[in-house]
Amino acid sequence: MAKPARKKTPAAKLPAKAEPARPVAIKSGLLTVGRPHWAFRTEGLAQELTLRVLKRKEDFDAPEWGSALLKSLSERIQAGTLTPAENFVLPVERLAPGIESELNALLFTPIDTGWLVVAITGDEAQLVREWSPTALVEVLGKLDQRLLVDLDRLSLMQTPRARAVIEQRVAQEGSSMSSMTATVSQMTKVGNAVTWRLSADAVETFIALLKGRIGHLRSFSVGSADHRVDVVSADRPSVEVAAKLSTLKLSLVAARQLRATLRAAPGRYVFESLPGFTLLVM
Protein backbone atom coordinates (compact mmCIF):
# COMPACT_ATOMS: atom_id res chain seq x y z
CA MET A 1 0.00 0.00 0.00
CA ALA A 2 1.49 3.29 -1.08
CA LYS A 3 2.29 5.72 1.67
CA PRO A 4 0.48 9.05 1.43
CA ALA A 5 2.68 11.77 0.07
CA ARG A 6 4.11 13.99 2.74
CA LYS A 7 2.85 17.51 2.69
CA LYS A 8 5.54 19.99 1.95
CA THR A 9 6.05 22.55 4.64
CA PRO A 10 6.18 25.98 3.05
CA ALA A 11 9.49 27.68 3.54
CA ALA A 12 9.42 30.46 6.08
CA LYS A 13 9.15 33.84 4.43
CA LEU A 14 12.07 36.08 5.05
CA PRO A 15 11.23 39.62 6.03
CA ALA A 16 11.25 41.95 3.07
CA LYS A 17 14.37 44.01 2.83
CA ALA A 18 13.87 47.71 3.21
CA GLU A 19 14.40 49.52 -0.02
CA PRO A 20 17.60 51.55 0.09
CA ALA A 21 17.01 55.26 0.24
CA ARG A 22 17.49 56.91 -3.10
CA PRO A 23 20.40 59.35 -3.21
CA VAL A 24 19.23 62.94 -2.90
CA ALA A 25 21.15 65.73 -4.58
CA ILE A 26 20.94 69.39 -3.54
CA LYS A 27 21.05 71.85 -6.43
CA SER A 28 21.45 75.62 -6.10
CA GLY A 29 21.64 78.65 -8.32
CA LEU A 30 21.28 82.43 -8.30
CA LEU A 31 18.07 83.92 -9.70
CA THR A 32 17.87 87.61 -10.51
CA VAL A 33 14.14 87.86 -11.24
CA GLY A 34 12.75 90.30 -8.68
CA ARG A 35 15.01 90.50 -5.66
CA PRO A 36 18.18 88.44 -6.32
CA HIS A 37 17.99 85.19 -4.39
CA TRP A 38 19.54 81.74 -4.13
CA ALA A 39 17.24 78.90 -5.12
CA PHE A 40 17.96 75.52 -3.50
CA ARG A 41 16.10 72.35 -4.43
CA THR A 42 16.35 68.64 -3.84
CA GLU A 43 16.45 65.96 -6.53
CA GLY A 44 15.52 62.43 -5.51
CA LEU A 45 12.56 62.78 -3.12
CA ALA A 46 9.01 61.77 -3.94
CA GLN A 47 8.04 65.39 -3.27
CA GLU A 48 10.97 67.73 -3.70
CA LEU A 49 11.90 70.50 -1.27
CA THR A 50 12.63 74.06 -2.40
CA LEU A 51 14.26 76.86 -0.40
CA ARG A 52 14.59 80.47 -1.61
CA VAL A 53 17.13 82.62 0.23
CA LEU A 54 17.54 86.36 -0.28
CA LYS A 55 21.06 87.16 -1.54
CA ARG A 56 23.11 89.12 0.98
CA LYS A 57 25.71 91.65 -0.23
CA GLU A 58 28.54 89.52 1.10
CA ASP A 59 27.35 86.35 -0.66
CA PHE A 60 29.47 85.49 -3.70
CA ASP A 61 28.46 81.82 -3.62
CA ALA A 62 25.33 80.04 -2.48
CA PRO A 63 25.43 79.94 1.35
CA GLU A 64 26.38 76.51 2.65
CA TRP A 65 23.70 76.54 5.34
CA GLY A 66 20.96 76.42 2.67
CA SER A 67 22.26 73.15 1.24
CA ALA A 68 22.90 71.78 4.74
CA LEU A 69 19.33 72.56 5.78
CA LEU A 70 17.76 70.79 2.80
CA LYS A 71 20.13 67.84 3.26
CA SER A 72 19.10 67.51 6.92
CA LEU A 73 15.38 67.75 6.08
CA SER A 74 15.78 65.19 3.26
CA GLU A 75 17.48 62.71 5.58
CA ARG A 76 14.69 63.04 8.13
CA ILE A 77 12.04 62.54 5.45
CA GLN A 78 13.76 59.38 4.18
CA ALA A 79 14.17 58.08 7.74
CA GLY A 80 10.45 58.57 8.35
CA THR A 81 10.91 61.09 11.19
CA LEU A 82 9.60 64.09 9.23
CA THR A 83 6.51 64.42 7.09
CA PRO A 84 6.01 67.91 5.63
CA ALA A 85 2.44 69.19 5.92
CA GLU A 86 0.68 72.54 5.63
CA ASN A 87 -0.30 72.65 9.31
CA PHE A 88 3.10 71.59 10.63
CA VAL A 89 5.59 73.82 12.48
CA LEU A 90 9.21 72.65 12.74
CA PRO A 91 11.45 74.44 15.27
CA VAL A 92 15.13 74.73 14.37
CA GLU A 93 17.93 75.54 16.80
CA ARG A 94 19.77 77.86 14.42
CA LEU A 95 18.87 78.41 10.78
CA ALA A 96 22.21 79.80 9.60
CA PRO A 97 25.12 79.01 11.96
CA GLY A 98 27.24 82.09 12.63
CA ILE A 99 24.55 84.55 11.51
CA GLU A 100 22.22 86.22 14.00
CA SER A 101 18.59 85.91 12.94
CA GLU A 102 15.16 85.86 14.52
CA LEU A 103 14.13 83.06 12.15
CA ASN A 104 14.06 79.80 14.12
CA ALA A 105 11.17 77.72 12.79
CA LEU A 106 10.00 76.33 9.45
CA LEU A 107 6.67 75.96 7.69
CA PHE A 108 5.93 73.98 4.52
CA THR A 109 3.65 75.23 1.75
CA PRO A 110 2.79 73.21 -1.39
CA ILE A 111 4.14 74.20 -4.82
CA ASP A 112 4.10 72.38 -8.17
CA THR A 113 7.24 70.33 -7.48
CA GLY A 114 6.52 69.48 -3.83
CA TRP A 115 7.10 71.72 -0.82
CA LEU A 116 8.49 75.22 -0.37
CA VAL A 117 10.31 75.65 2.95
CA VAL A 118 9.33 78.93 4.64
CA ALA A 119 11.25 80.35 7.61
CA ILE A 120 9.42 82.19 10.42
CA THR A 121 10.34 83.84 13.71
CA GLY A 122 9.86 82.38 17.18
CA ASP A 123 6.86 84.52 18.10
CA GLU A 124 5.28 83.81 14.70
CA ALA A 125 5.74 80.08 15.41
CA GLN A 126 3.96 80.53 18.74
CA LEU A 127 1.23 82.53 17.03
CA VAL A 128 0.42 79.93 14.37
CA ARG A 129 -0.27 77.35 17.06
CA GLU A 130 -3.16 79.58 18.15
CA TRP A 131 -4.03 80.37 14.55
CA SER A 132 -3.00 78.71 11.26
CA PRO A 133 0.33 78.11 9.47
CA THR A 134 -1.39 78.46 6.09
CA ALA A 135 -2.93 81.77 7.13
CA LEU A 136 0.48 83.12 8.19
CA VAL A 137 1.97 82.01 4.85
CA GLU A 138 -0.89 83.86 3.15
CA VAL A 139 0.03 87.08 5.01
CA LEU A 140 3.77 86.62 4.30
CA GLY A 141 2.96 85.97 0.64
CA LYS A 142 1.26 89.37 0.33
CA LEU A 143 4.49 91.01 1.49
CA ASP A 144 6.77 88.77 -0.62
CA GLN A 145 5.23 86.63 -3.34
CA ARG A 146 8.28 84.34 -3.55
CA LEU A 147 8.43 83.81 0.23
CA LEU A 148 12.17 84.40 0.34
CA VAL A 149 14.11 83.57 3.49
CA ASP A 150 15.51 86.91 4.65
CA LEU A 151 17.78 86.37 7.64
CA ASP A 152 17.36 90.04 8.62
CA ARG A 153 13.55 89.92 8.59
CA LEU A 154 11.87 91.01 11.81
CA SER A 155 8.70 89.43 13.13
CA LEU A 156 5.41 90.59 11.66
CA MET A 157 4.31 91.16 15.24
CA GLN A 158 6.73 94.11 15.40
CA THR A 159 4.82 95.91 12.64
CA PRO A 160 1.77 97.62 14.22
CA ARG A 161 -0.44 97.35 11.12
CA ALA A 162 0.37 93.67 10.46
CA ARG A 163 0.03 92.86 14.15
CA ALA A 164 -3.45 94.44 14.33
CA VAL A 165 -4.66 92.50 11.28
CA ILE A 166 -3.20 89.22 12.53
CA GLU A 167 -4.54 89.54 16.08
CA GLN A 168 -8.01 90.30 14.70
CA ARG A 169 -7.91 87.20 12.49
CA VAL A 170 -6.58 85.01 15.31
CA ALA A 171 -9.46 86.09 17.56
CA GLN A 172 -12.01 85.40 14.81
CA GLU A 173 -10.62 82.20 13.30
CA GLY A 174 -8.91 80.29 16.12
CA SER A 175 -6.44 77.49 15.44
CA SER A 176 -6.42 75.11 12.47
CA MET A 177 -4.17 72.62 14.30
CA SER A 178 -6.25 69.64 15.41
CA SER A 179 -3.35 67.54 16.72
CA MET A 180 0.08 67.89 18.29
CA THR A 181 2.80 65.52 19.41
CA ALA A 182 4.77 65.17 22.63
CA THR A 183 7.93 63.23 23.44
CA VAL A 184 6.13 61.97 26.56
CA SER A 185 2.36 61.92 27.07
CA GLN A 186 0.93 59.26 29.38
CA MET A 187 -2.19 59.45 31.53
CA THR A 188 -2.71 57.03 34.45
CA LYS A 189 -5.33 56.61 37.17
CA VAL A 190 -4.89 55.23 40.70
CA GLY A 191 -8.11 55.27 42.70
CA ASN A 192 -9.65 58.67 42.05
CA ALA A 193 -6.30 60.34 41.33
CA VAL A 194 -5.34 60.98 37.70
CA THR A 195 -1.83 61.95 36.63
CA TRP A 196 -0.91 63.14 33.16
CA ARG A 197 2.83 62.99 32.49
CA LEU A 198 3.65 65.46 29.73
CA SER A 199 7.10 66.42 28.41
CA ALA A 200 8.07 70.07 28.72
CA ASP A 201 8.66 70.30 24.96
CA ALA A 202 4.91 70.06 24.36
CA VAL A 203 3.62 72.52 26.95
CA GLU A 204 3.79 75.77 24.95
CA THR A 205 1.91 74.21 22.03
CA PHE A 206 -0.62 72.70 24.43
CA ILE A 207 -1.26 76.10 26.04
CA ALA A 208 -1.63 77.73 22.62
CA LEU A 209 -4.18 75.13 21.53
CA LEU A 210 -6.19 75.61 24.71
CA LYS A 211 -6.77 79.14 23.46
CA GLY A 212 -6.92 78.49 19.72
CA ARG A 213 -9.02 75.29 19.84
CA ILE A 214 -10.93 74.95 23.14
CA GLY A 215 -11.44 78.72 23.20
CA HIS A 216 -13.34 78.27 19.93
CA LEU A 217 -15.16 75.11 21.11
CA ARG A 218 -12.96 72.83 18.97
CA SER A 219 -11.21 69.67 20.12
CA PHE A 220 -7.60 68.62 19.55
CA SER A 221 -5.40 65.65 20.43
CA VAL A 222 -2.02 65.21 22.08
CA GLY A 223 -0.20 62.16 20.76
CA SER A 224 2.93 60.27 21.79
CA ALA A 225 4.39 56.94 20.71
CA ASP A 226 1.96 54.84 22.75
CA HIS A 227 -0.80 57.10 24.06
CA ARG A 228 -3.25 59.73 22.85
CA VAL A 229 -5.18 62.29 24.84
CA ASP A 230 -8.21 63.90 23.22
CA VAL A 231 -8.86 67.36 24.65
CA VAL A 232 -12.47 68.33 24.04
CA SER A 233 -14.79 71.21 24.89
CA ALA A 234 -17.49 70.38 27.44
CA ASP A 235 -19.88 72.07 29.85
CA ARG A 236 -18.29 70.35 32.84
CA PRO A 237 -14.59 69.43 33.13
CA SER A 238 -13.71 65.78 33.68
CA VAL A 239 -11.09 63.13 32.79
CA GLU A 240 -11.53 59.63 31.33
CA VAL A 241 -8.48 57.35 31.35
CA ALA A 242 -7.84 54.28 29.18
CA ALA A 243 -4.74 52.35 28.14
CA LYS A 244 -4.30 53.85 24.68
CA LEU A 245 -6.77 56.73 24.50
CA SER A 246 -7.76 59.12 27.28
CA THR A 247 -10.06 62.13 27.20
CA LEU A 248 -9.70 65.47 28.95
CA LYS A 249 -12.95 67.44 28.92
CA LEU A 250 -12.61 71.15 29.57
CA SER A 251 -15.05 73.99 30.02
CA LEU A 252 -13.97 77.46 28.87
CA VAL A 253 -13.33 78.40 32.50
CA ALA A 254 -11.20 75.27 33.07
CA ALA A 255 -9.21 75.89 29.87
CA ARG A 256 -8.44 79.44 30.97
CA GLN A 257 -7.36 78.13 34.37
CA LEU A 258 -4.95 75.64 32.77
CA ARG A 259 -3.50 78.38 30.56
CA ALA A 260 -3.00 80.70 33.53
CA THR A 261 -1.37 78.04 35.75
CA LEU A 262 0.65 75.78 33.46
CA ARG A 263 4.26 76.56 32.54
CA ALA A 264 6.85 74.84 30.34
CA ALA A 265 8.93 74.04 33.42
CA PRO A 266 9.21 70.69 35.22
CA GLY A 267 6.83 70.41 38.16
CA ARG A 268 3.42 69.31 39.41
CA TYR A 269 0.43 71.42 38.43
CA VAL A 270 -3.04 71.08 39.97
CA PHE A 271 -6.23 72.91 39.05
CA GLU A 272 -9.24 73.89 41.13
CA SER A 273 -11.65 72.99 38.34
CA LEU A 274 -10.25 69.42 38.08
CA PRO A 275 -9.96 67.99 41.62
CA GLY A 276 -7.80 64.86 41.77
CA PHE A 277 -6.09 65.70 38.48
CA THR A 278 -2.34 66.41 38.35
CA LEU A 279 -0.40 67.48 35.27
CA LEU A 280 3.22 66.43 35.75
CA VAL A 281 5.54 68.31 33.43
CA MET A 282 8.74 66.35 32.84
Q: Rounded to whole angstroms, how far apart are CA atoms 71 and 94?
A: 15
Instruction: Count CB-CB contacts under 10 A for residue 268.
Output: 9
Report residues of the chain scoring pLDDT below 70.
1-21
pLDDT given at position 73? 97
pLDDT given at position 94? 87
pLDDT given at position 92? 92
pLDDT given at position 5? 47
Domains of the chain in start order, with CATH, are: 25-173 (no CATH), 179-281 (3.30.1360.230)
pLDDT given at position 11? 40
